[in-house]
Amino acid sequence: MPKGSLLNPSLGAPVAIRAHTLKRAADTVLGALVQAVPGRVPAAPAGSISCVSFGGSHAGARYGLSDLIAGGGGARPQLDGIEVVDTDVSNCMNVPAEAIEMSYLAARPLLSAALRWWGRRQDARRHGGRACLAADGRKAVASYRSERHYTSPWGLFGGRAAPRWQTSVQRQGGDVEQVPSKARLLLSAGDVLRVLTGGGGGYGDPFERPPEAVLSDVLDGKVSRQAARESYGVVIDAETIDEAQTRRLRSARRIGAAASLTYDLDEPIQWRRTDDQSAGSGRRDERDPTSQEQA
């Protein structure tokens, strides 16, 4: 690797979030293998495992906790994506909410397994998870580190790109602040840190997903009736499939050219930095010989 590159950084470069760097490298390798062995490589996974660390003091004692939040696996050529799972280069799971509540009385974590969008083989929607951390009557300092807030895990062969990670803080007064992929936060009493995890990319034309599988997703609360109609071409009436309307809708809305598209990357989001966020971003370590040469 060339010196000074992402995988071979110069002295002084920021390297603390190594897992996400490796995940991008894994995505790149798997993406290239799609062209070498099509039909044997899944769509991109969520591409991140969020690390939320928080700490403070209570009754004269200090406390600290780090927890990991996983997203979804990419849809596979013959199978759906795996839900709420760490992928590729890391193998971690979150701490059970009950264990946190028993061991860390100074904070009240609210962890939910509720799923937002799901990863499917022939899918337009992908799986995600949801997690909340509420400060309960005391201040806490939180460090949030994640990825895939501005780019999407890619879908394959007509499958769509996955939803990105979304993070926000809802203040006690009702104001909501959007959090970038890395941030240091001060949580006061009543503030809530919310993390909506990303999902894995879809695989194949969603209009070819078996209607019975779409109905099952709707009944399980994974897909709305509107999404079933618009994204899969399946019309659900109460708890049954309207077969006539489904045939009519699917025959009229074949995605055609999209199915031959190898990758669906979606459009990246450009994050606008504030003055505070830009401060120090151009700093180089004085020990870095590269900075001395360019000075």
pLDDT 10s digits, 155-199: 998 888 888 888 899 898 899 999 989 999 988 877 888 888 888
Answer yes or no: do 197 and 219 share one domain.
Answer: no
Answer yes or no: do 195 and 88 share one domain.
Answer: yes
Query: What mean pLDDT do residues 83-109 have?
Result: 69
Residue 233 falls in which region: left (phi positive, over 0), alpha (psi -120 to 50) or beta: left
pLDDT of residue 33: 95
Answer yes or no: do 23 and 67 share one domain.
Answer: yes
Predicted confidence band at 271 (pLDDT cuts at 50, 70, 90)?
A: low
In a domain, 130, yes or no: yes
Answer yes or no: do 98 and 237 share one domain.
Answer: no
User: What gap in Å lies between CA 46 and CA 147, rounded to an integer?
Assistant: 9
Residue ending a domain, choose from 204, 224, 241? 204
Using DSSP, state whether 237 is helix, strand or coil. strand
Answer yes or no: do 81 and 96 share one domain.
Answer: yes
Considering the chain, what percentage of its residues have pLDDT values greater than 70? 74
pLDDT of residue 277: 43
Residue ending a domain, choose from 188, 204, 220? 204
In a domain, 270, yes or no: no
In a domain, 276, yes or no: no
Residues contacting 199, CB < 8 A, separation 6+ = 46, 71, 72, 81, 116, 117, 118, 119, 125, 126, 127, 128, 153, 162, 163
Using DSSP, state whether 56 is helix, strand or coil. strand
User: What gap in Å lies between CA 109 and CA 118, rounded to an integer?
Assistant: 24
Domain count along the chain: 2
Residue with tokens 């280069």: 89
In a domain, 124, yes or no: yes
Answer yes or no: do 146 and 243 share one domain.
Answer: no
- With a cut of 70, say whether residue 239 has pLDDT above it: yes
Give per-residue pLDDT as tens, 195-238: 888 888 988 888 888 999 999 989 988 888 998 998 899 999 98
Closest CA to 45 of 15, 8, 96, 89: 89
Predicted confidence band at 136 (pLDDT cuts at 50, 70, 90)?
A: low
In a domain, 79, yes or no: yes
Domain span at residue 168? 1-204
Predicted confidence band at 118 (pLDDT cuts at 50, 70, 90)?
A: very low
Answer yes or no: do 82 and 170 share one domain.
Answer: yes
Answer yes or no: do 172 and 224 share one domain.
Answer: no
Q: How far is CA 62 from the centre of its chain?
A: 31
Answer yes or no: do 148 and 172 share one domain.
Answer: yes
Name residue 49's amino acid.
I
Answer yes or no: do 219 and 192 share one domain.
Answer: no
Answer yes or no: do 193 and 56 share one domain.
Answer: yes
In a domain, 52, yes or no: yes
